[in-house]
Structure 1
Amino acid sequence: MPSLSLSTGVQFFYTDSGAVDGGEYTTVVIIHGYSFHSGTTFLCSNPSLTVTLVSIGTFQRLNPLAQPNSLRIISVNRRCYPGSSALSADELSTIAEGTDDARAGLLEQQGCDLALFVDGLIDELSIPKNGGIALVGWSLGTIFLLSLIASVETLPTATQERLSGYVRTVVLLQPPSLSLGLPMPPGHLTSHTDPDIAEARGPAFAKWVSSYFVHGNLSLHKTEELTNNKTDPLKLSTVERLKPEELFALADFTAAEKYDKVIGGAPFAPLVAAQTHKVLFDPTVRRAWRGATFWNLYGSAEPWTIIYAGWFLEDQSRAANSLALAFQTKIIPGGNHFLAWDEPETTIMALKACFSV
């Protein structure tokens, strides 16, 4: 499967739906979230004893729909995930116990590396400029998407110019509140913070985050309308419907524990909050991306933390009251956190609607 190496030696594995035959198309680059990654490959045998190379990833169900919808979908594995470079011992030490300045530098570097990855794709895959690029960060991947956007002023001038000329749309796809550095509201828990959950955190998180929740009146933007654990009894979570081999291929809980759990937790929260403010509400950064449109897209049956983040973004955009800082929102009725797996057609149509504005 394809990978791209930076001049520093950092390597990123990615999956690619392929160039679209004839006509203009948009290239979509997706950054995955916590545990559930963009793909891995493995050898699979069948009853006829033939062995084939199989690729499976969180966004794989979007790929067959890409070409008919004039899209090319490229999903990258972040560092520490299958096929991409591991973090060094020094980097892991910084994550675990570094100073705020050291951690801020590491977060910035992750964004720079991803920006250079996208720039490398433009050259290596001869990505056409006319259809442009849409950058999408799913779930916890929002932290790294925002790091990429924030890095624009630190990139080489040629890279800045190229990316700002190609990138037309930025989509925060189902971001949780922790990916924006928001404090947790009173009375609300996640599978990571609930003291009643004593079993393995990984499986508990996977079931919780992929359930279909039944919230109250979401139009009120009141936290008491959000539920921690009331789920639709008629719908199994996405994870409960996966085959064991699918779950094994889609998720890497080890990488999440040593990397994402800390970056998405309290030690990094002030840094992530500052990054969110810089990217979304600093006109200097937004101007550097030459008027790219910014979107938040989420489902109404998500875990409460995703909806809470959506409210924050809507409210902040409204308060800014600035065309230069505009932030648009699209809500998928009944959608859970695994839209790309459970409802690929709906996901494609929702993304296309963002790209066409």
Structure 2
Amino acid sequence: MPTAVIDSKGTEIYYIDSGAVPGSDNYTTLVIYHGSAFTGETFHKLLPLGAKDNVRVVSVNRKDYAGSTKYTDAELEDLNAGKHVFMERVAVDVANFLIWFADKFNVPAASADGKTGGFAVMGWSLGNATPTSLFAYPEAVTKERYAKLEPYVRQLILYDPPHLTYGYPQPPEGYNPFTDPAFKNPQEVFDNFRYWVSGYYNHAGLPTRKVLELDFTPRGARPSVDNMTPAEYAKNFDGLAAARTEFPMFFPMQPALNEMGQRAFFDEDLVKSVLPRTEVAWQVCENTNWYCAFGFVEAERQYKENVAKGKKVRPIKFQEIKGANHFVHWDAPEDFWAATAKIINGKL
């Protein structure tokens, strides 16, 4: 079971890796951070797909998930108190892992034109907060780490983030699986969550960007978890880690996450000084749950509003994946890979 020891405290990060692209000296390394409850193992179907597009695929388990170091009681206290310092530590862990991986495997740096090599760093779902943190906390990450990362980090890919990732206010009309009174404890909540989050929904309001026309129903069609064998589900789902670390992200951490997103994407000073060459792409799935559909609509609205004001924001490209739900990387990995390779290879 491969793990990276990323700091002097012995912090370990579990990962799966397709390996270097044979015969290539300019491949891009895609590093994926999973979402809530579902682990990095859900991306294993992508590992054999990257080489044909000159991409090495790496998927990590975030801290507290199977194989990676658990958070300390003090760190969990900061998380439950909604403190910014929790996300600052996350940013440092991301930086340390990327630096470790680049050094350990001598991965190709980004080319001078920014089209090949380097890292494309991806988040999925609420896990997008993890790589985004790298762009929001320069004091914590430090100039020394950024100097090591600058030759490598060329893309940030935001795969279907929900509105909670960046602390956007929730429309009151929307179904909330985390406050549904029918479910009495974390185990019941996450059992309901796995079906809700992995269903297929029809959003009339996504093409028109009308929030009130999104599909707010509490259960979608054909949930992707039904496409997992018991053995696959055991690897793909870590309810214990989710119960310990995800509930605070949904509630007390929301103000901190909102500030993090604003800093990473719209703070003119940080856009100019923190990995300024990094390209950002936001992927939304046409049939995703409403959390992610609304996250896309609101992010695009804020982006256009900031651009219209003449602010020098971090450029973001938006990509809609047709016919896809929140688990398209599991249900239709070739389709998801085709969309992602288009971003990595500069064809979006």
User: TM-score by structure 1 length?
Assistant: 0.88
Shift in Å, 1:60: 0.3
* Equivalent in 193, 202, 219 of residue 179 of structure 2: 193
Q: Deviations over 1:176-202 (max 9, x none)?
A: 111111111021123212234458112
Please give the residue correspondences for 1:287-298 in structure 2 after superposition, counting only pairs within 5 Å. Answer: 287=272, 288-298=274-284
**Which residue in 2 is equivalent to 1:2?**
2
* Equivalent in 63, 83, 86 of residue 106 of structure 1: 86
Please give the residue correspondences for 1:257-272 in structure 2 after superposition, counting only pairs within 5 Å. Answer: 257-262=243-248, 264-272=249-257
Counterpart Cα distance in 2 of 1:125 and 1:272: 32
Shift in Å, 1:229: 1.9
SS at match of 1:200: helix
SS at match of 1:92: helix
| Corresponding position: 1:282 with 2:267 | yes
**Which residue in 1 is equivalent to 2:44?**
60
| Corresponding position: 1:139 with 2:140 | no
Q: Deviations over 1:24-63 (max 9, x none)?
A: 211001111101111xxxxxxxxxxxxxxxxxx1100000
Unaligned runs of 5+ in 1: 39-56
**Which residue in 2 is equivalent to 1:332?**
321
Counterpart Cα distance in 2 of 1:342 and 1:308: 22
**Which residue in 2 is equivalent to 1:229?**
217
Q: Deviations over 1:103-156 (max 9, x none)?
A: 211221111111111111110111111411101011111111211222344334
Counterpart Cα distance in 2 of 1:164 and 1:243: 41
Q: Tell me if the contact between 1:26 and 1:70 (Cα under 8 Å) persists in the aligned partners.
A: yes
**Which residue in 2 is equivalent to 1:50?**
none
Q: Tell me if the contact between 2:155 and 2:279 (Cα under 8 Å) persists in the aligned partners.
A: yes
SS at match of 1:78: coil
| Corresponding position: 1:344 with 2:347 | no
Query: Greater CA deviation, 111-120 or 212-221?
Result: 212-221
Q: Deviations over 1:300-330 (max 9, x none)?
A: 1000110111011111121122565221100
SS at match of 1:140: helix
Amino acid at match of 1:65: L
Shift in Å, 1:165: 2.0
Q: Residues 214 and 324 (structure 1 numbering): CA distance in 2 closer, same or farther, change over 3 Å?
A: closer
| Corresponding position: 1:116 with 2:118 | no
SS at match of 1:267: coil
* Equivalent in 184, 188, 196 of residue 170 of structure 2: 184
Q: Tell me if the contact between 1:37 and 1:81 (Cα under 8 Å) persists in the aligned partners.
A: yes
Query: Greater CA deviation, 213-222 or 167-176?
Result: 213-222
Unaligned runs of 5+ in 2: 112-116
Amino acid at match of 2:60: V
**Which residue in 2 is equivalent to 1:31?**
33
Q: Residues 268 and 186 (structure 1 numbering): CA distance in 2 closer, same or farther, change over 3 Å?
A: same
* Moved >6 Å (runs of 4+): none
Root-mean-square deviation (CA, aligned residues, Å) is 1.7
Amino acid at match of 1:212: Y
Q: Tell me if the contact between 1:37 and 1:251 (Cα under 8 Å) persists in the aligned partners.
A: yes
* Equivalent in 92, 99, 102 of residue 76 of structure 2: 92
Q: Deviations over 1:252-288 (max 9, x none)?
A: 01110111111x2221111110001000101222222
Q: Tell me if the contact between 2:32 and 2:60 (Cα under 8 Å) persists in the aligned partners.
A: yes
Counterpart Cα distance in 2 of 1:217 and 1:90: 43
Q: Tell me if the contact between 2:89 and 2:140 (Cα under 8 Å) persists in the aligned partners.
A: no
Matched-pair identity in %: 30
**Which residue in 2 is equivalent to 1:207?**
195
SS at match of 2:137: helix
Counterpart Cα distance in 2 of 1:193 and 1:333: 30
**Which residue in 1 is equivalent to 2:114?**
none
**Which residue in 2 is equivalent to 1:300?**
286
User: TM-score by structure 2 length?
Assistant: 0.91
Counterpart Cα distance in 1 of 2:299 and 2:133: 17
Q: Residues 196 and 215 (structure 1 numbering): CA distance in 2 closer, same or farther, change over 3 Å?
A: farther
Amino acid at match of 2:67: G
Counterpart Cα distance in 2 of 1:225 and 1:206: 23
Q: Tell me if the contact between 1:17 and 1:73 (Cα under 8 Å) persists in the aligned partners.
A: yes
